[in-house]
Structures are given as C-alpha cells and as structure tokens.
Amino acid sequence: MARADKWRRVADKFRALPDAFGLREHTVQLEVSQYSGELPGDGDKFSRYTPITVGNGSPPKVRFPSQKEVALGLFASGSVVIGPFTPDFGSGGFSRPNIDGSLLDTYVGMKILVTGPQCPNGMHYRVNNSNVDRALRIVLTCEPAGE
C-alpha cells in the first residue's frame, strides 16, 4: 500500500463520522447515461448510478453555498459543493478518472444526482470544477444541469 493510501484510509474513516450522528442528509450519485440511438437523446436512455460515499457507505459532505458567497462571486447561483471525499486507496475511496469523464465513451453523459432536503426529488448537476489537487481529498463544485 502506498504511503498516501494509508492516510487516505484514515481520512475516509473520519469523514464518515458525521453520518454516524445523522448529520449527512444528502446522498450523491454519479449518473452515467447513454441512449440506444445514434446520438444523445435518440431512443431509450440507460443510466448507471454509482454512489459517491465515504467510510462504509456514508454520504459525503454536501454544501449549498450561502447567498453571501454567491453575491461575492465565489460560487455561481444554484451551485453545490460536494466533498471532501476520498480518492481511491485500494479498499475504498473514489477513483478520480471516474470524475473527470476520461473513461467515458463518445456520446456517454455524466451527471451528479443529489437527493436530500434541498432537493427531495433529486436534482442533476454537472461538474464545473473538480478539485483533486490534494492527496487526501476530492471536492467537486457543480452547477445545475438540465433534466
């Protein structure tokens, strides 16, 4: 196991603690979808959902920026910050190439589905910025996507 992976495993374990107290109310899933037709939108849609979790299946931190942050230009209106969650460390974590779309085939779509009190019926987001510059954490800044 790489040295960084040991720290990732520790970080991942502690990131799940808020959920143990019932404080993580939003679930996050990576939705990868494609259509039966030639181009996106043609024919039937097929989606595959992969939960983004920390620890032993706990939801990650999900934060909707305050109006003050939006007014200051720190975030776009309607955006959501997902994470930190943990890069892949072998026995857990989330693989970073799954986030940047580099593994997708042409015409395959990728969105983030967030479900919780802020969006009880689930809301789709697109990844606007994936912050993977830290060894122990991934943070996604997402903006609303069409349904």
Partner 1 sequence: MIASLDSFGASRFPLTQGETCAANYDPGQATIIGLLSAAIEACCGDAWRALTASLNNDHFLASSNNPVGSVLTVQPNSQNLTQVKMAWPVLAVYREGEPTSGFYSIDYNNSTQRWSVDWIAGPFSPDTQRKIGALWVPISNAIRAAIVEGMHPAYQNGAYQFHGQFSEIRWITSAGPAVTQELTTDKGQGYYGGSVILETVERMTFQSDAAAAITDFDGGAYLTPHDGYGTPATGADVTVNYDNKK
Binding site for partner 1 (CB under 8 A): 37, 39-43, 101, 104-111, 126-129, 145-146
Q: How far is the CB of 58 from partner 1 (least distance, A)?
A: 27
Is the separation of the CB atoms in 100 and 47 below 8 Å? Answer: no
Nearer Cβ to partner 1, position 25 or 42? 42
Is the separation of the CB atoms in 12 and 54 below 8 Å? Answer: yes
Nearer Cβ to partner 1, position 6 or 126? 126
Q: How far is the CB of 136 from partner 1 (least distance, A)?
A: 23
Q: How far is the CB of 128 from partner 1 (least distance, A)?
A: 6
Q: Give the single-character DSSP code of 79.
A: -
Nearer Cβ to partner 1, position 39 or 117? 39
Q: How many CA atoms lie within 13 A of 137 on its CB side?
A: 13
Is the separation of the CB atoms in 84 and 61 below 8 Å? Answer: yes
3-state SS assignment for residue 92: coil
Nearer Cβ to partner 1, position 48 or 126? 126
Q: Give the single-character DSSP code of 3.
A: H
Q: How far is the CB of 20 from partner 1 (least distance, A)?
A: 34
